[in-house]
Structure 1
Amino acid sequence: MRNNAISDTERKEVKLTYKQLLSVCQPMMEDGDIELIRKALKITSLNDGEIARNGAGELKIKEALEVALIVVRELGLSRVAVVGALLYDAVLDGTITEAEVEKSFGKQVAIITRGLVKVGELYSKNTSIKNENFRKLLLTFAEDIRVVLLIIANRLRTMRSLALYNEEDQQRISSEVGYLYAPMAHRLGLYNIKSEMEDLVMKFTNRDMYSFIARKLNETKRARDKYIKEFIEPLEHQLGQQGLKFEIKGRTKTIHSIFNKLKKQNTEFENVYDLFAIRVILDSDLSKEKAECWQVYSVVTDKYQPNPSRLRDWISVPKSNGYESLHTTVLGPDKKWVEVQIRTERMNEVAEKGLAAHWKYKGHKGEKGMDEWLSNVREILENPELNAVDFIDDFKLDLYDEEVFVFTPKGDLRRLKKGATVLDFAFEIHSEVGKKCVGGKVNNKNVSIRYALKNGDHVDIQTASNQEPKQDWLNVVVTSKAKSKLKQALRDIEYKEAEIGREMLVRRLKNWKYDLNDQLLNQLVKYFAYKTVQDFMRAIAIDKIDFSRIKDFIIQSEKKDEDNVELDKERSAENFITTNDSLPDDDVLMIDKSLTNVDYKLAKCCNPIFGDDIFGFVAAMGGIKIHRKTCPNAVDMKTKFGYRIVKAQWTSGADVSYQATLKITGVDDIGIVTNISQVISKEMKVKIRSMSIDSHEGIFEGNMTVFVDNTKSLSILIKKIKNVKGVYSVSRVGS
């Protein structure tokens, strides 16, 4: 289709989406708003006089309208954010300037678009998340939360239409959304968006398992619906008699969460009992919310036996992202455990729309927790020494964990991650208190910095002026704030020590009539096997390196031939890729048994074999590791070290055997292992490298490593083993 041509179908879709947007925006519309929306759409629809389309070939005006719909329907944001969403692509493309935005649409829209421009600049550099630029992205997020909400809306819409993109873009976008934006949506309380993102990421990165679980859910839907109806009916009758206004519904858990359960419990789909949850949503006045939620809890636990250890009260003290709900697990019909969630309509809206709902209910106690968290994010991000990946990793660690609530000596309530220690609490109070902490008093008893806090503890921190942070404290703290502040303090100490070491080295070299230059310094760092110059300088300061050894090295180096003076420098990923003549013009590494001029190895974490979709990863010490695209480490490598990824494909697999490991489960019956071995070695003529078998309660589970020629022969082998009587499942390890 030509760029300027719009099909009748596209025209109808745009008109329909436009009408939907006007309809949902009607309650918040002010005079002149429709004209502003039309003006924004006109700007978005064209680029240099041509109809603007995105990377998947879709009309940008359609994309902008759908993002704006998400902004209103699923995030509950205001008219200002809607106009910002409509201008999203036009701003990033440079079709309209910030000054023009402010003049035509107002200052608030200009503030949002300024943040979008910053984000666009980062993405235009095609950088990986490991790059420092992604810290700037997070800083942009801390400046105006609406910017990141618009980005989340845009990424959600992109994920919904990801099938239109090529495979490489699908993998890149999925990795980024799974690594950064789904956790961020979770932290902002956007549970529906987070869940949909995770499911869609899995759909494009682990399609086989996604399809398997989706098929199983569809097959069991009728039985599940029948059970839910049987569970709900007596509760509806009892709650109706008590005069409560309510709605009860069953909610099937997401494919991604079910997949996590299968992995965590190491079990089959049929053995996962909690595939759904029952949700009771009350229509309550604000003043009666808490009492009526507990009233429902009483009715549920009178009818069904509760599991006391599974009670979660996030009504009395909401989660740090504002989430409020009462959760319990009860024994339903047929002795099956069922999770029940109890909340009001307001709580449910907060759970689904996160921050936007907090603004709607400004002043409610849930808002305070979110404000504290955002303040904490800004405080961490303002640290110029912060490493972006460390922050994101710490940030993600706090997401899915439960919390513990403790009190300061003045009686103020503090919320920390479950497992937090006295040292975590000290850093929560203030970074200086954390750095000087020597222990604490918990409930008037002396405890060490390692003491794990419990709900209701009263904590008083003890400090000493001569105390300094220690490296092993990183094993004591668990909260992201404490980790970040502690790493910063340790870096400050190391920097000061390194400066002392540099002064000592310069002074000693001067006595020997030498100058300290970059060439000599790099040689010394490499010779003494330190990772960085700072580590080397610190070693000098703390007497780990004797100056006599440094002098001996310099004297020996001077005796060598000039060509051999400079030690081999470690090759960077960029140098390796761009200077290696063996790579073809399109930068695809062709893997062949005759390839001798490139140092490559097959990665042991996923054991690729001929026929697998593969990529190359440039190792830090040189050489290339070949991984399967479904490797468990693929997402981390692509998001953190995107610049070290090399496209790769097989050209020939003849006369080469590849190693593959199979996980096999089945009935622990006499002779079954022998039958499997015979199929492999005699019937298929496949060589077995190793075998390990473990059995428990009549079920055996084993790993078997074999040598095969390609994926086709492996598939045939798996099929043959599955046909052995008593075998439950066969899967390849490392997917």
Structure 2
Amino acid sequence: MVIRFEDLLEKVREYNPDADLELLRRAYVFSALEHRGQVRHSGEPYLIHPLEVATILAEQKMDVVTISAGLLHDVVEDTLTTTERLEGTFGQEVAHIVEGVTKISAITFSSTEERQAENFRKMLLAMVDDIRVILVKLADRLHNMRTLRFLQEDSRLRIAQETLEIYAPIANRLGMSKLKNELEELAFRHLEPDAYEMLGARVEKRRKASEGVVEELKRTITAKLQEAQIPVVEVEGRTKRLFSIHEKLRRQKIDLDRVYDFVALRIVTSTIRDCYAALGIIHQTWSPVPGRIKDFIAMPRPNGYQSLHTSVISESGFPFEVQIRTEEMHLRAEQGIAAHWKYKEGRVGAASDEPYFVWLRQLLEWQQEVRDPQEFIQNLKIDLYPEEVYTFTPKGQVKPLPRGATPVDFAYSIHTDVGSQCVGARVNGRMVPLRTPLKNGDIVEIITQAKHTPSRDWLNFVATSRARNKIKHFLEGQEKARAVELGR
């Protein structure tokens, strides 16, 4: 075990020579003591899990605060340690991240409806004011997926489904394709083992058959680019991932032979100009497939991904895709930066998004200026969906409400009768006044009383039009009834 921790220190030292390794050492010892005697389903000591999570974070070149939080991410949930004790021992930042991860882990994702999944994804991103919480949670989920085979079948299926619906899309939105790809592959293997095995065998057969061709193509393209004096950092060949192929076959209802990007060559060059020059050379060497050129450099994907893509056909009739990008684009495509994903919500250009673009520009400027990963991450505080608050029923159903919404709004969002008969509310287990504004992640329980009716006073503090209309409707009905009484 000790050797494993030394490996982690070595990894961190490589990319961050000035890192506070003492903090990591203390976090490791603390985690080892707290998890002492605990065992995972695999039969291994529990400590292996936080170590693996910390290692995944170190591979992403995270700062020591995040890696320490990775080592400690389960101590509040699984041992007697409190957040206060963590804060006293490791400082506010580490404690804050661990607390965020603990909160997310406590959520049960009961419904599998598409909209519900999107709500959860939004809520997870909105719940954290520090993106590092999500990054630790993703690393935690990745290691749990790698060791999923040790769990009972029902747990395996539930966790794999949740990974596919919630965590892989979040990784994608953060531009972290490497992590997203592994999560998807592992989820596919557990959710559809037969399809996974069958497709795997067919793909392997086709990959073996094309191995020699790929090597030949790599040699040809390297020679052509050198001849044209285009600097090449690397040329590598890859086979499309199983989950991607599976989705493509299902979506387009085609056979494996029709997948043009089954094999792709990736060319990494020095500058953007070199990318376009390389594209020209490729089109002079092989015939491009019409309509298959995509310029993601000029028009990046919503999560910040940039590359040139083209599909070509070799002399022997072998179709393949070529991706061309700079080193920086390659790094960002694999690791992602927590930046551009808000476009995805389709709200580009709205006035409320102005601060977001200012923030994004700042972020990109910082990224160029700040070489220290810790300082960069510290600047990366997000409030992604400021106009929405994500709350829960005690059963874990998500209720998105506007900012400033109260328990009365929450009650009406469940049902008109629940709203009308609402006499009190518990938020996170504590009784609160009905005018209390709700916060992200609040679990709200409404207390009702039969025959209770809405109060006019509620109109002074409700935030949703639904609650306001229902209350007004009831009061008007009451006044009409009173007028009828008086008129008799």
Q: TM-score higher than 0.5 here?
A: yes
State the shift of 1:55 in Å.
4.6
State the shift of 1:300 in Å.
0.8
State the shift of 1:111 in Å.
2.5
Matched residue, 2:411: none
Amino acid at match of 1:276: V
Partner Cα separation in structure 1 for residue 140 and residue 469 of structure 2? 46
Matched residue, 2:131: 145
Amino acid at match of 1:202: F
Structure with higher strand content: 1
Is 2:23–2:64's contact at 8 Å kept on the other side of the alignment? no
State the shift of 1:290 in Å.
1.4
**Matched residue of 1:378: which SS?**
coil
Matched residue, 2:314: 332
My pick for the range that moved more, 232-241 or 114-123, is 114-123
Aligned residues: 386
Matched residue, 2:89: 104
Partner Cα separation in structure 1 for residue 96 and residue 389 of structure 2? 20
Per-residue CA deviation, residues 419-450 of structure 1 (Å, 9 max, x unaligned), is xxxxxxxxxxxxxxxxxxxxxxxxxxxxxxxx
State the shift of 1:218 in Å.
1.8
Matched residue, 1:268: 255
Partner Cα separation in structure 2 for residue 53 and residue 32 of structure 1? 31
Matched residue, 1:556: none
Is 1:76–1:357's contact at 8 Å kept on the other side of the alignment? no
2:476 maps to 1:504: yes
**Matched residue of 1:338: which SS?**
strand
The 1:92–1:133 alpha-carbon spacing in structure 2 relative to 1, beyond 3 Å, is: farther
Partner Cα separation in structure 1 for residue 142 and residue 384 of structure 2? 23
Choose which of 237, 240, 243 in structure 2 pairs with 1:253.
240
Per-residue CA deviation, residues 313-335 of structure 1 (Å, 9 max, x unaligned), is 22224233221111112222333
Is 1:280–1:342's contact at 8 Å kept on the other side of the alignment? yes
Counterpart mapping for 1:297-696 below 5 A: 297-355=279-337, 362-364=366-368, 377-382=384-389, 492-510=464-482
State the shift of 1:61 in Å.
1.2
Higher Rg: 1
State the shift of 1:217 in Å.
1.8
Choose which of 37, 49, 56 in structure 2 pairs with 1:70.
56
**Matched residue of 2:386: which SS?**
helix
Partner Cα separation in structure 1 for residue 96 and residue 122 of structure 2? 20
Matched residue, 1:607: none
Partner Cα separation in structure 1 for residue 220 and residue 249 of structure 2? 31
Partner Cα separation in structure 2 for residue 355 and residue 226 of structure 1? 36
Structure 2 unmatched runs, 5+: 341-362, 370-376, 401-462
2:240 maps to 1:233: no
State the shift of 1:383 in Å.
7.5
Is 2:171–2:179's contact at 8 Å kept on the other side of the alignment? yes
Per-residue CA deviation, residues 563-610 of structure 1 (Å, 9 max, x unaligned), is xxxxxxxxxxxxxxxxxxxxxxxxxxxxxxxxxxxxxxxxxxxxxxxx
Partner Cα separation in structure 1 for residue 51 and residue 337 of structure 2? 22
State the shift of 1:36 in Å.
2.8
Is 1:70–1:153's contact at 8 Å kept on the other side of the alignment? yes
Amino acid at match of 2:97: I
2:3 maps to 1:21: no
State the shift of 1:495 in Å.
4.4
What's the Cα RMSD here?
3.5
Matched residue, 2:73: 88
The 1:122–1:272 alpha-carbon spacing in structure 2 relative to 1, beyond 3 Å, is: closer
Amino acid at match of 1:377: L
Is 1:66–1:157's contact at 8 Å kept on the other side of the alignment? yes
Amino acid at match of 1:144: D
The 1:105–1:390 alpha-carbon spacing in structure 2 relative to 1, beyond 3 Å, is: closer
**Matched residue of 1:222: which SS?**
helix
Amino acid at match of 1:161: T
Partner Cα separation in structure 2 for residue 152 and residue 205 of structure 1? 19
Amino acid at match of 1:51: G
Amino acid at match of 1:379: P
- Where does structure 1 differ by over 6 angstroms across 4 or more consecutive aligned residues? 131-135, 356-361, 373-376, 387-391
Partner Cα separation in structure 2 for residue 494 and residue 222 of structure 1? 61
Partner Cα separation in structure 2 for residue 128 and residue 502 of structure 1? 33
Partner Cα separation in structure 2 for residue 307 and residue 268 of structure 1? 18
Amino acid at match of 2:70: A
The 1:388–1:190 alpha-carbon spacing in structure 2 relative to 1, beyond 3 Å, is: farther
**Matched residue of 2:384: which SS?**
helix
Is 1:277–1:339's contact at 8 Å kept on the other side of the alignment? yes
Amino acid at match of 2:264: A
Partner Cα separation in structure 2 for residue 52 and residue 256 of structure 1? 34
My pick for the range that moved more, 491-500 or 501-510, is 491-500
